[in-house]
Amino acid sequence: MSINSIYELYQSMERNNAIVSFKGLVTADLLNSVLQIMESKLDYSEESTKTRKKVYSVLVECLQNLYHHSEEEIIKIDGQTEHQIKNASILCISNPADYYEIKTGNYITKDKAEELEGKISNINSLGKEELRELYISVLSKGQLSSKGTAGLGLIDIARKSGNKLEYSFMPISDKYSFFCLQVKIKQ
């Protein structure tokens, strides 16, 4: 990586009006720090309490998804090099136009990817009232997992953002995909 790429990185972040970007292990401490930074940044720059709260709530769910669901194994990429990908996640929060954007990425096994894709495409096919019904049904019938997850995170993100979840699964190896999620919240 050439030294000049720092400036390119800066320009790209500047163009997107990046607020917080992070790559690495999502620990409970990191989660706390990001939330704290975002809360004070939003307090300073976002006038609408409503928007501030939406961004914050969606961010909590996105971060906790990364925290709970990233893979922690040593995986083979391209069948050659072995990388230790311990909770290697990426998170970018930006304010590129009249909306906030939260982007996340993390490794996921292919069988989980398939299940997740079904779940997201179902969420995206539903309108506001149907999403509410789905939320209520999962809330009242579901059980918390041992990690304390309720299976409600993505439904909640879709409801609060009021937008479709943009996503893709990039094939990495025969066992893993990289899951990209992008959520927009209007100002």
The residue ranges that bind other proteins (CB under 8 A) are: 28, 31-32, 35-36, 49-50, 53-54, 56-57, 60-61, 64, 67-68, 132, 135-136, 139-140, 142, 144, 147-150, 152-153, 156, 159-160
Of 67 and 179, CB closest to other proteins: 67
Of 18 and 150, CB closest to other proteins: 150
Residue 76 CB, shortest distance to other proteins, in Å, is 29
Query: Is residue 65 helix, strand or coil?
Result: helix
Residue 187 CB, shortest distance to other proteins, in Å, is 14
Of 79 and 148, CB closest to other proteins: 148
Rg of the chain over Cα atoms, rounded to whole angstroms, equals: 17
Residue 64 CB, shortest distance to other proteins, in Å, is 6
> In whole angstroms, what is the distance from residue 127 CA to residue 48 CA?
25
Residue 72 CB, shortest distance to other proteins, in Å, is 15
Residue 101 CB, shortest distance to other proteins, in Å, is 19
Q: Which class for 73: exposed (0-12), middle (13-18), buried (19 or more C-beta within 10 A)?
A: exposed
* Residues near 25 by beta carbon (within 8 Å), at least 6 away in sequence: 86, 87, 88, 89
At 45, which amino acid appears?
S
Of 71 and 176, CB closest to other proteins: 71
At 21, which amino acid appears?
S
Of 36 and 173, CB closest to other proteins: 36
Residue 78 Cα to chain centre, angstroms: 25
